Amino acid sequence: MIKIAQDIALMDMAYSLAEKARGQTSPNPCVGALIVKEGKIVGWGCHQEAGSPHAEIVALDRAGNLARGSTLYLTLEPCIHWGKTPPCADRLVKAGFKQAIISTYDPNPLVYRKGVAKLRAAGIKVVTGVLAEKQARLNETYNKYIVKKIPFVTLKAALSLDGKIAASSGDARWISSDESRRFGQELRAEYDGIITGINTILVDDPLLTVRLEHFVKKRWSRIILDSKLRFPLEARLLKNLEEGKVLIFTSYKSSREKAKRLTEKGAEVICVPERKNRLSLRAILKELGRREIASVLVEGGAGVMTSFLEQKLPDKAFFFISPKLIGGAKAPTMFEGQGAGRVSRATELKNIRTLRLKDDIIIEGYF
């Protein structure tokens, strides 16, 4: 019983290391590692970004010869294939570990169970499953992307108590509190990109950046859905391209001349098929996956949100509920369209968690 409690505590520390790189490792997972010998931590590390050494290799380099005969605590199964780095399992075998406590198998089809099998074949005792539930949430975006090759999709919206996302005039500043908007920036920092519709660009002319003092620059994409290519040539998005790529998805019927002018200003214009007079969201997600964009935060208006929900594409949502009543039959709500014919057929969030920030309530849940 004492040994089990010790393993849980040490794996928890390994997860704390993995958390340090949250939002920085895409399209790779967040991984932490500890090496323990005779009750002492002799090596530790986390994977910091794609292309950098994996967590177990960082820990192994710190431990050096002390790794021989020790126990490795690793939050995710070691890789066995060449990517941007060599196979980790080979290094672990050569290091002479006595035991490896591995939280979960890697869902990557190239790795799944093979890394653990290689360690066992080399005579290393392997235990799996310790704090596996932490891996499921920490790497939820990776877990989907690496199997389906399309991004993990999260909706984010600020709502009044009566479900409005703006007043009838279109004004939405500000439904949520300063504290909630700060939290929204923290969310942006965890994703690879943001999706919004052309109406948001035309009305607000936003920058769609991550505005945090401690934010470490990374791959970040601003993704605009614009079927008729109405994107303004003077939009602020085109004046800060160092803050992230601008990807404009449009239809094959849109103006080639306009596309050329936007391309000259640094944007990427990508044509996709239409579905019922709307851009095919599935085609867009497939193209984003091809570009190794593993997660997106959808912050669009009613049209964009409704399209994603009607096609059952979101994986998760963050709803910021403000204690305001806006009213107005013409004021937009987040989910419009035809809606459910019966309450029993309503879309329902699962695995709910809530957080209160000042007077706002934030609901986090999964579809």
- CA nearest neighbour of 300 among 276, 331, 335: 335
Token pair 């019927």 is found at: 253
CA distance 106 to 80: 11
The residues pairing with 279 across neighbouring beta strands, listed in sequence order, are: 274
Closest alpha carbon to 34 in 58, 50, 52, 53: 58
Length of the chain: 367
Name the 3-class secondary structure at 205: coil
The neighbouring-strand residues paired with 63 are none
CB 356 within 8 A of CB 196: no
* C-alpha distances out from residue 132 to 7, 8, 85, 318, Å: 13, 10, 25, 24
Q: Give the number of other Cβ atoms within 10 Å of residue 167's Cβ.
A: 17
Beta pairing, strands 152-159 & 295-298:
parallel
What type of residue is 355? L
Peptide bond between residue 27 and the one before it cis (omega within 30 degrees of 0): yes
**How far is it, in rounded angstroms, from Cα 360 to Cα 338?**
29
Nearest in space to 313 (alpha carbons), one of 138, 151, 107, 136: 151
Which SS3 state, helix, strand or coil, does residue 5 take? helix
CA distance linking residue 44 with residue 56, whole number of Å: 8
Non-local CB neighbours of 14 within 8 Å, separated by 6+ positions: 32, 33, 34, 44, 55, 73, 74, 75, 103
- B/e letters for 205-221, b = 16+ CB within 10 Å, e = fewer, are eeebbbeeeeeeeebbb
Q: Which two tokens stand for residue 232?
A: 């303004």
Catalytic residue ranges: 56
